[in-house]
Amino acid sequence: MPFSTYLRDDMGSATISPEGPFEAGSWASLTYVYTAGRFGIDDSGMLKISWRTTSDMGKPQFDKPEAPNYTTVTASNGAVLQTWFDRVNIRPWTNTLVIRVGRGYLKQGETITVRFGERSGGSPGIRMQTNFEASFEFKTFVDAFATYEFAEIPHSPEIALVAGKPVRWKAIVPSLVPANETFRLAIVGEDLWGNPSDKGEMRLSLEATPPVAGLPKSVEIRPGKAATVIEGLSVAAPGDVVLTLRDAEGRELCRANPLRVIEAAAERRYWGDLHCQSEETVGTNSADAHFAFGRDRAFIDICGHQGNDFQITDAFWAELNRLTASYEKPGHYLAVPGYEWSGNTGMGGDRNVFYRREGRPIHRSSHILVTEHQPATRERHTAHDLFEALKGEDAVVTAHVGGRYADVVYAHDPRLETSVEVHSTWGTFEWLLHDALGKGHRVGIVCHSDDHKGRPGATWPGASSFGAIGGLTCYFMPELTRDALFEALRRRHHYGTTGNRLYLDVRGRFNAPVTVFARDPKLGEDKGSSARSCIMGDIVRAGGQTLELEIEAVGTAPIERIDVFHGTKLVRTHRPEVAPDSKRLRVRWQGAEYRGRGRETPWQGELTVSGNRFSEAIPVNFLNPALPFTVTQPGTGLSWRSVTTGNLAGIDLLLSDGRKGSVAITTNIVSGTVDLARLGLDDTVFEGGGLGRQLMAYRLPESGGPRQMRVSHSAAQSGAEDLPVYVRVTQEDGHQAWSSPIYLIR
């Protein structure tokens, strides 16, 4: 414990009322009462009330009684209190209301009362944290002797946060199954903030084309269940299945993710989220609940746990290993042991370490928050030290961007570091892949959630510094076992998405045999095998032959474009056919401030249509319900507040005429005007500096593009450098996916 333990039983007590439970993201008014202990609080002593670092509960404010989050603080004896809110405590309890006894003091039994969300002046209350949590704690620390030495009271008050009513639906099926093999359908309703809801009460009708044996015509959603699972389904013949959920009036609520049925499957497709944290480090809810959520609420096949190493005690490391072993059920669910090596940015930045087996050591970047006197392993301060410590281990490493970012230029080990994470709930980081490719590293692409909210595999950003839906990775494996998973990671046989389950297939063919390597031939461990084809992630010595690439994407929404990259260079964009006078205009913004923690870019924008009108405006990736756009002038004016963290957001306008007038767009980052008469089929781009910040405008098909696209591409390696070829798919709803590169080598 990093706080004083001096006579903590004598430091007072605290209560909170009402006790709840409260709906996550709702407005509430809470009364917190601290009662001073035996020593009271001396003149200039302090009280800290803290909640978790990653919580997005509203920030208390003290001078606007009519505004959200208004908070009052009073002492029962009339002592003058100085109050402020900041991130001034030790993680994971950094969000802190600080109360200083400025004039006067407290004696035993006297109280300090905090009214969070005081409503008497017109405030709606304080906004509760937007993700569910069984025990949201108001950690209480007391500086009774005015020494700035804080002791935590024995029992801090807590409340429960639960999901609200469902506002959207998900239907989850496997991506690939053989004909006549049984599979399951999982139906989940999510509330406004992305929490799986157990408050649904309705009848849903189910439709499938072609027919799915065992699929009922309807299903009853009952309160008390956060998911409905239908087992024993099958499809008789190969093909693509479209499964639709409708409400009682016949309106489409959602479609299931693409399901492809084939005659036989040498390799299956399994979905995983390997990168998440729980309350034992800096996340929310327990590690046990974490693995259960991935299995029973997100319906992923593979789940990992990646707590910050400097917060993982030896005891918790042992508990994590016990949990992964207990949840592991090959063929049904994989739980992968590991940790996040959280070195300072200048010493290599964040890495995810995954072990194939339990019982392996944790090599920490530091022991700054581990208070054990004799930790089991010594510190590994740099990424070089980490790679040295992992030599000979049955482990793989992923470079990722979180609070710190991985510097793959500073350090990389091709034997261990087989992939880079280009998307998580922190944002989108294609630049990390480009860093790796620029150094000649041969890595695959993964996307995971880096979940801190107790929702691995189904993470929404909420209203805090997280700016994106958490990612998912599709792994190509012959069976659902750890051995198959680690082989897929080492062969880079996977692709990543921004959280949807788009179906992506990228295959290459050659006119004559080539050499395909399962491991990087730089390591001297693989002589390769002869083949005429390859898939994403393969390393191929083609002898100058042309790679004929076949790309197929089946989206969870209409597909906007497929981009093909040669290394860091975008060489081709494939888009669905769109009329040159299409009335559907997309205005899109994207990018980040810079690579570090403060990467979020707030966009404050407005647009004005002149010489034309819009009949409808549709948001894209407005992920924070508290930040909607506003129609300022019906048919001609909009304003918005939005946040991007390397990812994208935007607004679609349905215009009365696709060729008349102009659209003037003004933002705090970059501005520009689009002349609709001159706008062709290409993007109009206004550069905004920073890290890939852009404002764009372009046309989309009026009735939506296709959900399935097949395109071809040719590429040939020449010279001494590798030619990595990969694709990025962008859907109209803002979701994206990236294939691991095929590496054409000399």
**Record: fold of 168-265:** Immunoglobulin-like (2.60.40)
Residue type, 451: D
The DSSP code for 391 is T
Average pLDDT over residues 17-31: 96
Q: Which tens digit of pLDDT belongs to each residue from 183-192? A: 999 999 999 9
Average pLDDT over residues 410-432: 97
Instruction: Give residue 71's pLDDT.
Output: 98
Is 399 within 8 Å of 432 (Cβ atoms)? yes
| CATH classification (class only), 502-576+713-746 | mainly beta
Q: Which tens digit of pLDDT belongs to each residue from 640-657? A: 999 999 999 999 999 999
> Cβ-count burial of 257 within 10 angstroms (0-12 exposed, 13-18 middle, 19+ buried)?
buried
Instruction: Give residue 465's pLDDT.
Output: 74
Q: Which tens digit of pLDDT belongs to each residue from 310-335? A: 999 999 999 999 999 999 999 999 99
Q: With 90 as the cut, is the pLDDT of residue 65 above it?
A: yes
Phi, psi of 234, rounded to the nearest 5 degrees = -160, 160
Q: With 90 as the cut, is the pLDDT of residue 291 above it?
A: yes
Q: Kindly indicate the confidence band of residue 1, based on its pLDDT and cuts at 50, 70 and 90.
A: low
Is the peptide bond between 174 and the residue preceding it cis, with omega within 30 degrees of 0?
no
Average pLDDT over residues 96-119: 97
Q: How far apart are CA 276 and CA 295, in angstroms?
A: 14
Q: Specify the DSSP element, H or E, that contains 422.
A: strand 417-424
Average pLDDT over residues 285-300: 97
Higher-confidence residue: 450 or 465?
450
Instruction: Give residue 681's pLDDT.
Output: 86
Q: With 80 as the cut, is the pLDDT of residue 375 above it?
A: no
Average pLDDT over residues 207-231: 96
Instruction: Give residue 731's pLDDT.
Output: 98
Q: Domain locations in the chain? A: 8-162, 168-265, 269-501, 502-576+713-746, 577-700
Q: Kindly indicate the confidence band of residue 720, based on its pLDDT and cuts at 50, 70 and 90.
A: confident
Q: Which tens digit of pLDDT belongs to each residue from 573-629? A: 999 999 999 999 999 999 999 998 888 999 999 999 999 999 999 999 999 998 889
For residue 681, what are the contacts with CB-CB under 8 A and spacing of at least 6?
575, 578, 580, 698, 699
**CATH architecture for segment(s) 269-501:** Alpha-Beta Barrel (3.20)
Phi, psi of 310, rounded to the nearest 5 degrees = -75, 0
| CATH classification (class only), 8-162 | mainly beta
Q: Which tens digit of pLDDT belongs to each residue from 223-256? A: 999 999 999 999 999 999 999 999 999 999 999 9
> Cβ-count burial of 503 within 10 angstroms (0-12 exposed, 13-18 middle, 19+ buried)?
buried
* pTM (predicted TM-score): 0.96
- Cα separation values, 426 from 34, 404, 487, 508, Å: 36, 11, 27, 33
Instruction: Give residue 85's pLDDT.
Output: 97
Q: How far apart are CA 648 and CA 32, in angstroms?
A: 40
Higher-confidence residue: 373 or 705?
705
Instruction: Give residue 265's pLDDT.
Output: 85
Average pLDDT over residues 671-685: 95
Is 701 within 8 Å of 576 (Cβ atoms)? yes
Instruction: Give residue 719's pLDDT.
Output: 87
Q: Kindly indicate the confidence band of residue 467, based on its pLDDT and cuts at 50, 70 and 90.
A: confident
Is the peptide bond between 18 and the residue preceding it cis, with omega within 30 degrees of 0?
yes
For residue 91, what are the contacts with CB-CB under 8 A and spacing of at least 6?
53, 282, 311, 369
User: How much is the mean pLDDT over the chain?
Assistant: 96
Q: How far apart are CA 636 and CA 655, in angstroms?
A: 10
Q: Kindly indicate the confidence band of residue 51, based on its pLDDT and cuts at 50, 70 and 90.
A: very high
Q: Kindly indicate the confidence band of residue 354, based on its pLDDT and cuts at 50, 70 and 90.
A: very high
Backbone CA torsion sign across 625, 626, 629, 631: positive
Q: With 80 as the cut, is the pLDDT of residue 208 above it?
A: yes
Q: What's the per-residue H, E or C state across 450-511?
A: CECCCCCCCCCCCCCCCCCCCCEEEEEECCCCHHHHHHHHHHCCEEEECCCCCEEEEEEEEE
* Short-list 193, 168, 173, CA closest to 252: 168
Q: Which CATH number fits domain 577-700: 1.10.1760, 2.60.40, 3.10.50, 3.30.450?
A: 2.60.40
Q: Which tens digit of pLDDT belongs to each residue from 139-172? A: 999 999 999 999 999 999 999 999 999 999 999 9
Confirm whether 8-162 and 502-576+713-746 share one CATH topology: yes
Q: How far apart are CA 222 and CA 388, in angstroms?
A: 54
Residue type, 620: V
Q: With 90 as the cut, is the pLDDT of residue 283 above it?
A: yes
Q: Kindly indicate the confidence band of residue 95, based on its pLDDT and cuts at 50, 70 and 90.
A: very high
Q: Quickly tell me which residue has 């009519």 as its tokens.
A: 66
Is 617 within 8 Å of 651 (Cβ atoms)? yes
Q: With 80 as the cut, is the pLDDT of residue 518 above it?
A: yes
